[in-house]
A and B are shown apart, each in its own frame.
Chain A
Amino acid sequence: MEMFDLTLIWAGIIGFGVIMYVLMDGFDLGVGILFPFAPDEDSRDVLMNSVAPIWDGNETWLVLGGAGLLAAFPVVYSVFLPALYIGVFLMLAGLIFRGIAFEFRFKSHRNRHWWNRAFSWGSTVAAFAQGAVVGAYIQGFPVEDFVYVGGALDWLTPFSVLTGIGLVAGYALLGATWLIMKSEGHTQAWAYRLAPRLLIAVLAVFAIISLWTPFVDDAVRERWFGHLHLLWVFPALALLCAFWLWRSVQARREGQPFIATLGLFVFTYLGLVVSKWPVIVPPNYTLWDVASAPESQLFLLLGVLFVIPIVLAYTAWSYWVFRGKVRVGEGYH
């Protein structure tokens, strides 16, 4: 079985699943974060309708990723979840409230304001919790013999609060650029006004995190200021995307801002991955330390390789079906 490294293949699959989730659920969580600030109730209908047909397909990647982690990298699963216990609960509660709000808001009139709240709060809390997870990951976890040995709120530090706020701003930016693409009229004008401000917020947080990270993690510091200069290509590309985003909003382009924001996320993510590689449970364990047995990895690989193309095709198809602008008064009531 030494023809190919199953662990690497699985790292690729899980890594792909994580970025797919972040990009796709990112913009619909972002729409939820922006929800209370929308100009009026008609705009809110447009906001919700722009993501309603696709949001649950986006969440597919989260569940797939969770189960895949247990199967391929069980130590990640059994260290991260206890370490982030409270954060995971908040994220799930947020996602559940947001999920049922999608279904019931349009079918409700008297209680609509409650579903509005469930939608925006659920989205914001879930996004913040995910951002805090990223911060906690950069910080690392106290682990002994593959078991988490820290406390309940160790993950909640000023640093992880900042990454949490950063991801909320980042998702909101994804949401705003998505709306530029999907809406028109005063909703689109509002999204255009919002995008540059959110970009500034994201870049500010991004800068603080970048300055702070080397002090949080020695390994990253050594890597950044060591001899691997290739690494600087990712933040450079991310900044290039930010610049493109700025210009395309100025020029009132409709599709480009969203693409640029996706690029911003992808290069930031790659930068993070390269900074940590091949450590996956910081500070101690590499991918190969935490992998499951090769026979288990192979057993599941067969099914996943069969299903992922189908899920991708289905996803592409639903985006195709629901392409174009969302207009006021359309959608389901």
Chain B
Amino acid sequence: MELDPLLLSRLQFAFVVSFHAIFPVFTIGLASYLAVLNGLFYRTANPAWERLANFWARVFAVVFGMGVVSGIVMAFQFGTNWSNFSLAASNLLGPMLSYEVVTAFFLEAAFLGVLLFGRGKVPQGVHLFASIMVALGTFISAFWILVSNSWMQTPAGTELIDGRFHVTDWSKAIFTASFPYRFVHFVMASFLTGGFVVAGVSAWYLLIGRDVEANRKAFSMCLWMLLVLAPAQAWFGDEHGLNTLEHQPTKVAAMEGNWETQSRTPLLLFAWPDQQAQENHLEIGIPGLASLILTHDLDGEVPGVSAVPPEEQPPVWWVFWSFRVMVAMGLAMIVAALIGAWLRARGRLYESRGYLQFMRVMTIAPFLAVLAGWFVTEIGRAPWLVYGLMTQEEAVTPSLTGGMALFTLIGYVLVYAVVFYAGTLYLTRVVRQGMLPEPPHDDEVERPKRPLSAAHVPFEDAANQPGRS
């Protein structure tokens, strides 16, 4: 079997970036939630808000730490596996990615320590300000990353001279056609992620009856937010899709599993796309609905994948099914929010054990939706890396062999397996330990002022310890 360095590099990038993305998508939402909790505590002085803020700050610390560790690899990934792309796009992507790093460090240097360790040491207003700045910093970091990605999807403001992109207009290159849609869609996704995680963990606490007062508050406020955001995200995702239809029609065609350009395009509920035959097997669909959604007209024309030659087509099966996973998760989130509203109206929100169990399980839904969404947009761009200007084949490192790519792919999978296992195990312990009765008393001079150290939880149970504390 011939090892293909391009395919292996794509797999490696998909693996590394997916593994990395789940952390920021959670921390961006959680950072804002912490700012809200600290704000509420500042306003009302209700200790329940403080307990919640302290608990979620500990979770934030662990997840933020894992995001940083997995992010280091991303900074080198472009150069090792996509060196031609790095060189070609460096005039734009270099500054964008550097600004992301610079923003993240500025934030970490200035405010993260105050947020995690400053409670009781600095005035409450300063602590709240730090919390707001951390939340703002996560948005700015996301801004630069999504600027880079959006430029790759809908390039503008640059011209290609001798195989290198030169920036002709910074504002055009930063605010490309798909950027506003992608940014809002992503920020809403991180809020949904934060909301479902907090709701899920609160539901579990309510089930076992721990710190009921604080967790009812948390559960209730999350559900209000989800009731607004889950449907809004579905509507906005549709807007984003229309923007994609305008700029990347083939991607939308693949999402719909639509091979031939046609009017009265059905919305497919099930299909088995076959790239070789350029058709679907086992189609089940609702006639005309795709046309109606995409063109607001039953007879509207929807582009087909076969409109472009096979070598310019994305792998339809992957895009089609990733899109369906994302939409299914989105619908499940809307249903969860609506059931919550209905139970609230009947005054049984905290009593229905079945619903609390369901919300526990739903914690995973936003993560699946986010990953599936990235799969749609990234695989849907294939074979292009910079849409219409540079293919993945032109971008990959020329000196890379299949053996090298396989070696690092297996290596990263093993490294991340350890990181993820240790991190997840530890996170579940932090959650199990739950709300500390009062904020941990920080009298240890030598304790590192670093994210993970903010979670005062031992790694294993206190049993069978040697005689040291």
A→B interface (CB under 8 Å) = 49, 52-54, 56, 59-60, 62-64, 66-68, 70-72, 74-75, 77-83, 85-86, 88-89, 92-93, 95-97, 99-100, 102-104, 107-111, 146-152, 292-293, 295-296, 299-300, 303-304, 307, 310-311, 314, 318, 321-322, 326, 330-333
With A296-B90, A300-B98, A300-B99 as known contacts, state yes or no: A80 contacts B79, CB within 8 Å: yes
A322 to B100 Cα, complex, angstroms:
28
A-B residue pairs in contact (CB < 8 Å), sample of 11: A53-B447, A53-B450, A63-B75, A83-B399, A86-B407, A92-B72, A109-B464, A293-B167, A296-B91, A300-B98, A332-B447
Judge whether A67 and B75 touch: CB under 8 Å: yes
Judge whether B98 and A104 touch: CB under 8 Å: no
Judge whether B411 and A89 touch: CB under 8 Å: yes
Choose from B69, B109, B465 the contact partner of A100 (Cβ within 8 Å): B69
Residue numbers in A under 8 Å from B94 (CB-CB):
67, 70-72, 74, 292, 296, 300
Interchain residue pairs A-B with the least CB separation, the first 4: A71-B94, A74-B90, A81-B79, A314-B109
Judge whether A111 and B102 touch: CB under 8 Å: no
Residue numbers in A under 8 Å from B318 (CB-CB):
none
Residue numbers in A under 8 Å from B399 (CB-CB):
82-83, 147-152
CB distance from B173 to the nearest CB of A (A): 10
With A70-B98, A77-B86 as known contacts, state yes or no: A92 contacts B91, CB within 8 Å: no
Residue numbers in A under 8 Å from B100 (CB-CB):
67
B234 located at the interface, meaning its Cβ lies under 8 Å from any Cβ of chain A in the complex: no
A55 to B422 Cα, complex, angstroms:
20
Judge whether B452 and A88 touch: CB under 8 Å: no
Considering only CB atoms and an 8 Å cut-off, how many residues of chain B contact the other chain?
Answer: 69
CB distance from B249 to the nearest CB of A (A): 32
With A88-B76, A152-B401, A299-B170 as known contacts, state yes or no: A64 contacts B102, CB within 8 Å: yes
Residue numbers in B under 8 Å from A72 (CB-CB):
94
A261 to B166 Cα, complex, angstroms:
44
- Chain B positions 437 through 465: 1 when the CB is less than 8 Å from some CB of chain A, otherwise 0: 00000001111111011001111100011
Judge whether A333 and B418 touch: CB under 8 Å: no
Judge whether B398 and A147 touch: CB under 8 Å: yes
Judge whether A88 and B110 touch: CB under 8 Å: no
With A111-B460, A147-B398 as known contacts, state yes or no: A81 contacts B80, CB within 8 Å: yes
Residue numbers in B under 8 Å from A75 (CB-CB):
87
CB distance from A181 to the nearest CB of B (A): 15
CB distance from B145 to the nearest CB of A (A): 12
Judge whether B415 and A64 touch: CB under 8 Å: no
Total contacts A to B, CB within 8 angstroms? 216
B419 located at the interface, meaning its Cβ lies under 8 Å from any Cβ of chain A in the complex: yes
Choose from A62, A82, A99 the contact partner of B83 (Cβ within 8 Å): A82
Judge whether A322 and B446 touch: CB under 8 Å: yes
B262 located at the interface, meaning its Cβ lies under 8 Å from any Cβ of chain A in the complex: no
CB distance from A325 to the nearest CB of B (A): 10
Judge whether B415 and A97 touch: CB under 8 Å: yes
With A109-B459, A300-B99 as known contacts, state yes or no: A292 contacts B90, CB within 8 Å: yes
With A49-B446, A77-B90, A331-B447 as known contacts, state yes or no: A152 contacts B403, CB within 8 Å: yes
Choose from B72, B101, B404 the contact partner of A95 (Cβ within 8 Å): B72
Judge whether A78 and B86 touch: CB under 8 Å: yes
Residue numbers in B under 8 Å from A318 (CB-CB):
449
Residue numbers in A under 8 Å from B398 (CB-CB):
82, 147-149
* B425 nearest CB neighbor, chain A only: A104
Residue numbers in A under 8 Å from B86 (CB-CB):
70, 74, 77-78, 81
A187 to B444 Cα, complex, angstroms:
21
Residue numbers in A under 8 Å from B84 (CB-CB):
78, 147
A296 to B166 Cα, complex, angstroms:
9
Residue numbers in A under 8 Å from B95 (CB-CB):
71, 296, 299-300
Residue numbers in B under 8 Å from A81 (CB-CB):
76, 79-80, 83, 86
Choose from B79, B422, B466 the contact partner of A78 (Cβ within 8 Å): B79
- Chain B positions 91 through 113: 1 when the CB is less than 8 Å from some CB of chain A, otherwise 0: 11111011111100110011000
Judge whether B98 and A78 touch: CB under 8 Å: no
Residue numbers in A under 8 Å from B464 (CB-CB):
109-110
Judge whether B448 and A307 touch: CB under 8 Å: no
CB distance from B125 to the nearest CB of A (A): 22
Residue numbers in A under 8 Å from B17 (CB-CB):
none
CB distance from B97 to the nearest CB of A (A): 5
Judge whether A104 and B459 touch: CB under 8 Å: yes
Residue numbers in B under 8 Å from A100 (CB-CB):
69, 418-419, 422-423
Residue numbers in B under 8 Å from A104 (CB-CB):
422, 426, 459
Judge whether B83 and A332 touch: CB under 8 Å: no
CB distance from B368 to the nearest CB of A (A): 25
A147 to B448 Cα, complex, angstroms:
43
CB distance from B1 to the nearest CB of A (A): 19
CB distance from B51 to the nearest CB of A (A): 22
Judge whether A78 and B83 touch: CB under 8 Å: yes
Residue numbers in A under 8 Å from B447 (CB-CB):
53, 331-332
* B62 nearest CB neighbor, chain A only: A103
Choose from B76, B80, B102 the contact partner of A303 (Cβ within 8 Å): B102
- Chain B positions 241 through 277: 1 when the CB is less than 8 Å from some CB of chain A, otherwise 0: 0000000000000000000000000000000000000
A83 to B399 Cα, complex, angstroms:
8
B44 located at the interface, meaning its Cβ lies under 8 Å from any Cβ of chain A in the complex: no
B73 located at the interface, meaning its Cβ lies under 8 Å from any Cβ of chain A in the complex: yes
Judge whether B101 and A310 touch: CB under 8 Å: no
CB distance from B420 to the nearest CB of A (A): 10
Residue numbers in B under 8 Å from A102 (CB-CB):
448
Give residues of chain B (54-72) contacting chain A, Cβ–Cβ below 8 Å: 65, 68-69, 72
